[in-house]
Structure 1
């Protein structure tokens, strides 16, 4: 039997690139096609066996056609691009054979940012087993919900035809494994906010807690779920506890209190001469809300609780985290972003020099 045809989006990104690296390493025999805006030589060198299709998240018919021609779709692209998800589902609905959709979401959907209380501990820890019914019916105002909802609805509408899984990692750290973006969002975002504020900081008491996971542990869960999809495709037997109404996977391993993150980050950035004092400062909600463009996203990142437990992955796959702890890699992650910013500044100055 020929191997299933696998389509992946977002594979130049931090998560998608790492996931593709993990899958191609574990299973070089898989037939994989990637949707890319453009194909670089660096990408070809990294994934010589991966076929490519040119398109982006607004290329609805390209995405639909590609999905209709593949047995398994791994969507690690823009988690909030509703049009891209609609196009992928349209394509999968055109198929006569059963297919699998693995979609990347994130734990912003279970953050307590909506409660209006920041910098205080929320004792609730969400489980992808115990709370699965509630997760499928989260309010429409939750971050990522408008796309996650499409996936849940597709599973209900096409339950015997389109089998879905949502991967929901928390804040991720560590160096990515792909040829594109190799840094997570959280540490660089905090670095930039600290530079702008001229001090490490926390909101109110700084007692809010966030779940974390190393990028290699995100990769290992993805490999397990893709392997399950391949096995299901090849045997024609789909185990319902893995997919559809049950197909929601948190990916958290550890937790940290934000005040502790602020203290550790302040110490490192002060040692680099980037800020004067290592001691983090308490900030008001209003100050943090107006940071970095005033979108309010800073309050979610730095002031809310977002706590989850990877019960389903542990129960079904025996998943367990093996990556190094967040604090152990914090300095390396900060230095990587610091170096990238310096490199970007040099490149910009050189470009301006050439224009003048």
Structure 2
């Protein structure tokens, strides 16, 4: 019997790509997607996918949907505690084996909490095998931790029939494959900040490093983890090394050095006539801290180290990244975001309809 799968976030960059990857790899799976609104475009693209209408605050809808699902893939808001509580409550109603696959991110290991490493290389590289004890016991003030902790402790608090995993990708690049957002997180943020400052930038030495991965490589690991869950449902055999306190999966494939990335981005944006000079400029910590609303997000995005090694997926499933490098798709990602912003401006000014080109 095909597993029943619930997917949240299916119009987002990652969640939409998960939906596309799972339905393409396994059209026999019974997939249900949570949507705020069901559009004809969505129905036409995924005629075999069932839909339920709701959002992350729709606790009862989420709980009921989870209770009816063998596998829940929560690929939406990583930090919405209420949504996770509702999904776990629903899975807790079940008496049969079920799986929860939750989307987190490597902000949880970024070192922007320490002034010492802002713009400076940190040699620390986290492994999802060698450092698993530290990862499942991160301080409670780390980004994503308040929800990740619920996932790690799911079986303990909601029933031993629940087997959970955390997918923890770094900065993702490349075009997404879903019906909604198809652009990554990092490139638009950096583009918009450069546009506002009229120059590409870095902090201190600009030697801070960030792990990267192409969206297709993230999806190939998602498919392998979902297949592991489906096979366990079929055989009744659970591999403990895949789930619970062991079920933490980095998705990293490569790294970037921030000053080098700033220089390459500045060159592209200068060639588009968006800034005058391709040469990046050194910014102070205080300047970057004030960006993106002054929340400190700028320090995480542009000045921190966030380095991870995807050992678990490679060891358990033979996962091998094959996607193009960040450098190979950076220009296409930037141009795509530039065109999207220009279309938005044109729509706002009435120069074309929202579907115009």
**Smaller-chain TM-score bracket:** over 0.9
Residue pair 1:14, 1:183 contacting (<8 A) in 2 also: yes
RMSD after superposition:
1.2
Q: Any unmatched runs of 5+ in structure 2?
A: none
Give distance in 2, aligned partners of 1:29 and 1:282: 53
Give distance in 2, aligned partners of 1:134 and 1:325: 29
Q: Offset of 1:47 from its aligned partner?
A: 1.1
TM-score (norm 2): 0.97
Give distance in 1, aligned partners of 2:298 and 2:153: 31
How big is each residue's C-alpha offset from its partner over 1:293-349, in whole Å with a ceiling of 9 and x where there is no partner? Answer: 222101100000000000000000100111000011110000000000000001111
Residue pair 2:128, 2:250 contacting (<8 A) in 1 also: yes
TM-score (norm 1): 0.97
Partner of 2:8: 9
Residue pair 2:266, 2:278 contacting (<8 A) in 1 also: yes
Q: Any unmatched runs of 5+ in structure 1?
A: none
Task: Give the ranges of 4+ consecutive aligned residues of structure 1 lying more than 4 Å apart after TM superposition.
Answer: none
Q: Check if 1:83 corresponds to 2:86.
A: no
Q: Secondary structure at the match of 1:114?
A: coil
Give distance in 2, aligned partners of 1:259 and 1:100: 41
Instruction: Give aligned pairs, total.
Output: 352
Give distance in 1, aligned partners of 2:295 and 2:275: 24
Partner of 1:126: 126
The correspondence of residues 229-248 of structure 1 with structure 2, limited to 5 A, is 229-248=229-248
Give distance in 1, aligned partners of 2:350 and 2:155: 52
Give distance in 1, aligned partners of 2:292 and 2:246: 37
Q: Check if 1:47 corresponds to 2:46.
A: yes
The correspondence of residues 133-212 of structure 1 with structure 2, limited to 5 A, is 133-158=133-158, 160-212=160-212
Q: Offset of 1:351 from its aligned partner?
A: 8.5
Give distance in 2, aligned partners of 1:282 and 1:159: 52
Partner of 2:321: 321
Residue pair 2:153, 2:244 contacting (<8 A) in 1 also: no
Q: Offset of 1:291 from its aligned partner?
A: 1.4
Partner of 2:24: 25
Relative distance call for 1:158 and 1:62 in structure 2 (3 A) is closer
Residue pair 2:36, 2:55 contacting (<8 A) in 1 also: yes
Residue pair 1:159, 1:244 contacting (<8 A) in 2 also: no
Residue pair 2:81, 2:147 contacting (<8 A) in 1 also: yes
